[in-house]
Amino acid sequence: MSRPLAVIVLAAGLGKRTKVRFPKVLLPLCGRTLLDTVLDAVAELEPVRTVVVLHHQRELVEKSLAARIGLTVVDQGEPRGTGHAVQVAMAELADFDGDVLVCYGDMPLLTAGTLYDLCEARGDAAVSILTACPPDPSGLGRILRDEDGGFCAIREERDCSDFELDIEEINVGIYCYDAARLRPALEQLSDDNAQGELYLTDTPALLLAAGERVETLELEDVDEALGVNSLLQLAIARSVMQERILEEHMLAGVVVEDPTTTVIEYGVTIGANARILPFTVIRRGVVVGPDCEVGPFSHLRAGTRLEPHAEVGNFVEVKQTTIGAGTKAKHLTYLGDTEIGAHANIGAGTITANYDGKAKHRTVIGDRAFIGSGTVLVAPATVGDGAMTGAGAIVRRHTAIGPGEVWVGVPARRLRSADDGGREERT
């Protein structure tokens, strides 16, 4: 950025049209909330200040932001419109001089590139406005222009004439202001309207009237203009975001056999030449190494790490687990809080029983271990390198199976050596 940048994110609304009991900006989208998605985009611009305006269920939203550093959170109080929200935010930016980018916490498809271009488009103008030409502009404010194509005003749809309703270009609602010229425009806002609110959309016309210049930037991808006001719109946004994520992985050399049935969240790392088979779900925080195979019908949850050439197959769920290089877990298996070495074989129906009703416990399985089909390992438990369990074995908690040992039975017991007839060792 050529000038210092401050960002204001408006997120005070409740979002009644979603019909959920929590703030709209906390709706999930591909591993992030709507608000986190927006904040991640603006963070790429490296703003010197970021102010988030909240109100409804502020404590809940603020808690979700606890891990973020450098945010300023302000309470709008009783909401009185978008202009009022920016007034409250600008009180926190009283000493700031530079660009002020205003965006919304419910517009998750806006990219950092678009926001950067909007800031650059301002140049020496007082404000730059993001516009779009969607297939259906119904319900959205129109951009009015003069005979030379210059910006004149933003007209809300309810105030449009029949002629103005035919205008295709709409106001997206994202602005980049010069801070020094924004302040007097905010002071001139009036609530003399049907809603009794202060509208930020009035500021461009006020700036024009003061002799200032207003620039616009039209979106190349109209999907970015989508605001999430309902769960239906959330589903549309998820579809677009998922397509972006899958495209990024495929361009990096990941073979996604059927993108239409594959879910990969934001924040997943997948190495080149990995194969993701149909009906696979990979959650945020998962790392899949190169040349791995995942699926079909696999579910990789947070904390899962697959080393190169590992394979996870049909109806296998993995959580907080490392699967070593070349290890296979191909069928009907749950691996939770587990560390598995290299070139092990996890038989069909294996369960690491990691939860005792109060706490989670870890299971450690060594290199080249062979876990027989239907084995239950009650954590904490350890299986040494090259060890084996028989089909259907129930390995009790605190059991340590030594390297090369064979355990079978319910509960599992160590077999004697072949010289002793292979009988179970009694304890």
Q: What is the DSSP letter of 139?
A: T
Which tokens sit at 75? 């309470």
- Show which residues are catalytic: 331
Amino acid making up residue 163: F
The answer to whether 170 and 225 are in contact (CB under 8 A) is yes
Nearest to 227 by CA among 174, 154, 164: 174
Our measurement of the distance from residue 285's CA atom to the centroid of its chain's CA atoms, rounded to an integer in Å, reads 11
Nearest to 105 by CA among 9, 244, 233, 237: 9
Token pair 């979002």 in the structure block, residue: 15
Bridge-based pairing state of the strands 413-414 and 406-408: antiparallel
Which tokens sit at 130? 């993001």
The answer to whether 311 and 292 are in contact (CB under 8 A) is yes
| 3 state DSSP class of 11 | coil
Which tokens sit at 399? 């059991």
Beta carbons within 10 angstroms of residue 350's beta carbon: 25
List, as one string, the DSSP characters of 256-303: ES-GGG-EE-TT-EE-TT-EE-SS-EE-TT-EE-TT-EE-SSEEE-TT
**395 CB-near residues (< 8 Å, 6+ apart):** 375, 376, 377, 378, 381, 383, 389, 401, 407, 411, 412
**282 CB-near residues (< 8 Å, 6+ apart):** 263, 264, 265, 268, 270, 276, 288, 294, 300
